[in-house]
Structure 1
Amino acid sequence: MIRIIALTPMGRDLGEKLQVKWPDAALEYKPKPFADTVRKSFQQGDSLIFICATGIVMRTLAPVLQDKYQDPPVLVLDEEGTFVIPLLSGHEGGANDWGAQVANYLNAQLVMTTAKPYLNPVFTLGMGCERNCPLEYLEELMLSALAEKGLTPSDIHSLNSIDIKADETNLINLANKYGWPFLTYSAEQLRTIEALLSTKSEYIFKTVGVYGVAESAALYGAQSETLSQSELHLNKIKNTKATVAIARSFPEL
């Protein structure tokens, strides 16, 4: 759930403009009681856009902050829509990417304060599947993953998997359909990034030699493209026949 919180009439007008782009977002103008309302939304995991001073946001949210892996993304905008600041959960929560989308929509300046400068990331897909998995299972899962992160097929650099899937017909067909390279890697290569996995499956390890095909392949593919550290953008999701994950890396300056 996206909540837009505005404290001035100009801020409310800007919030209404944002609702044109994100029609499911809830706009709250001067919510009362302010602190309790905002903290409740934050604690229930709502993605928040504040149109007000940054100091107000920090003082209000300080008592309920946990860490970058659990806190939802928070953006702060000035009432004129000139600047967009990803304030909390920039990388892990997606505030940096979301902030870029908002800034692009408003023709505003994205103000990044995280350690890594905002560059155009390379996104890669990793997939694993049952042998002879039907194309529709792969495609539906892939599109669901992209939609969850606000991406489109044109944002994806490559489709990646383990080398025992190099001849998997419908992984090849999926890549061809969307114009992606289909790249595969050995278990030995994929094990080099196992520390970055969100979960580890002993069953998968005993079966194919890595703790997770989708996440490992996505991470290795992203790292190989930019020669810089990759990170999971979407942890593995699955249906009854396949798994998919999204990774990203940033080109070195």
Structure 2
Amino acid sequence: MRIIALTSAGKALAERILQHYPNGTLDYKPKPFAEQVQAAFIAQEPMIFICATGIVMRTLAPVLQDKYQDPPILVMDELGQFVIPLLSGHEGGANEWAAQIAKKIQAQLVMTTAKDYLNPVYTLGMGCERNCPLSYLEDIMLETLQQKGLTPNDIASLNSIDIKADETQLIALAQKYQWPFHTYSADALMAMEPLLSTRSEYVFNTVGVYGVAESAALLAAQNASNASPELVVNKRKNTKATCALARGFSKT
């Protein structure tokens, strides 16, 4: 993630944002401006511009392709009052990213796309080997959140299949991050089967559902929001655990 700032006030705002995104970088008055910005765009780098929207559009116009290929682009005013997802709102994740930043710095999210992303509900689903160590669970969980720039504070609940209801380290993980821990029957999880990114016959033959992590995350997101859930991060795994992230949208 790269922040482009053109004024001293914009630079101060960028430094404030980067406190929440330590892996991000700041480009203060990059020169030559157009060449630097266009190169980052072509390299698929998500960017926040702290400047006028017109400057951004005129600069990026020569390299724009479509909403499926362009990286997410946000625009902010130098006072940090407003966050605008300008490009790749749905497909590229700019809406979601803008909502995160608005929440972190107490700014106003300005949405121009049709779907309301103001109140996303994020839920984690996890599966694991019996007696899986906490470190394996925590590592894969943090990697999953990092993929979307989220933190544990953004998560509404941790979820799994009911045969994991007594899994001590899943319980410990939920307690560490103060999440509710929910488990569901295989029959309930099977309702999410059409939304899965992958289907494992081995897992189905073992526990009766084609994917524990994705199914549990999706069902929890649906229950929390009363709306159609969607996968935000498909199942990730290490040698002992799996993790997936889903999202719904609250009515409040």
Q: TM-score range by the shorter chain?
A: 0.7 to 0.9
Q: 2:122 aligns to what? A: 123
Aligned equivalent of 2:13, options 10, 17, 22: 17
User: 1:247 and 1:92, CA in 2 relative to 1: closer, same or farther beyond 3 A?
Assistant: farther
User: 1:82 and 1:50, CA in 2 relative to 1: closer, same or farther beyond 3 A?
Assistant: same
Do the aligned residues in 1 keep the contact of 2:193 with 2:215 (CA within 8 Å)?
yes
- Runs of 5+ in structure 2 lacking a partner? none
**Deviation above 6 Å: which 4+ runs of structure 1?**
none
Using the TM superposition, name which of 123-132 and 155-164 deviates more.
155-164
By how many angstroms is 1:217 displaced?
A: 0.8
AA at the equivalent of 1:32: P
Q: TM-score, length-normalised on structure 2?
A: 0.82
Do the aligned residues in 2 keep the contact of 1:19 with 1:25 (CA within 8 Å)?
no
Aligned residues: 247
- The aligned runs of 1:1-253 (5 Å cut-off) are 2-6=1-5, 8=6, 10=7, 12-22=8-18, 24-32=24-32, 34=34, 36-62=35-61, 63-68=63-68, 70-104=69-103, 107-252=106-251
AA at the equivalent of 2:32: K
> After superposition, what is the alpha-carbon deviation per residue over 1:80-112, rounded to whole angstroms, capped at 9, x for unaligned?
544220112334544234323444565543211
Give distance in 2, aligned partners of 1:248 and 1:41. Answer: 29
Do the aligned residues in 2 keep the contact of 1:16 with 1:27 (CA within 8 Å)?
no
By how many angstroms is 1:248 displaced?
A: 1.7
Using the TM superposition, name which of 237-246 and 209-218 deviates more.
209-218
AA at the equivalent of 2:29: Y
AA at the equivalent of 1:67: K
Percent identity, aligned pairs only, is 61
Give the SS at the match of 1:18.
helix
Give distance in 2, aligned partners of 1:127 and 1:238. Answer: 9
Give distance in 1, aligned partners of 2:122 and 2:91. Answer: 15
Give the SS at the match of 1:86.
strand
User: 1:21 and 1:201, CA in 2 relative to 1: closer, same or farther beyond 3 A?
Assistant: same
Give the SS at the match of 2:188.
helix
By how many angstroms is 1:214 displaced?
A: 0.9
User: 1:224 and 1:25, CA in 2 relative to 1: closer, same or farther beyond 3 A?
Assistant: same
By how many angstroms is 1:13 displaced?
A: 3.3
Give distance in 2, aligned partners of 1:230 and 1:157. Answer: 14
User: 1:198 and 1:54, CA in 2 relative to 1: closer, same or farther beyond 3 A?
Assistant: farther
Do the aligned residues in 1 keep the contact of 2:204 with 2:211 (CA within 8 Å)?
yes
> After superposition, what is the alpha-carbon deviation per residue over 1:31-89, rounded to whole angstroms, capped at 9, x for unaligned?
3261x432321232211012333344335445443434x54321012345442201123
Q: CA RMSD in A?
A: 2.7
Give the SS at the match of 1:75.
strand
Give distance in 2, aligned partners of 1:46 and 1:160. Answer: 32
By how many angstroms is 1:196 displaced?
A: 2.7
User: 1:107 and 1:190, CA in 2 relative to 1: closer, same or farther beyond 3 A?
Assistant: closer
User: 1:4 and 1:31, CA in 2 relative to 1: closer, same or farther beyond 3 A?
Assistant: farther
User: 1:203 and 1:31, CA in 2 relative to 1: closer, same or farther beyond 3 A?
Assistant: farther
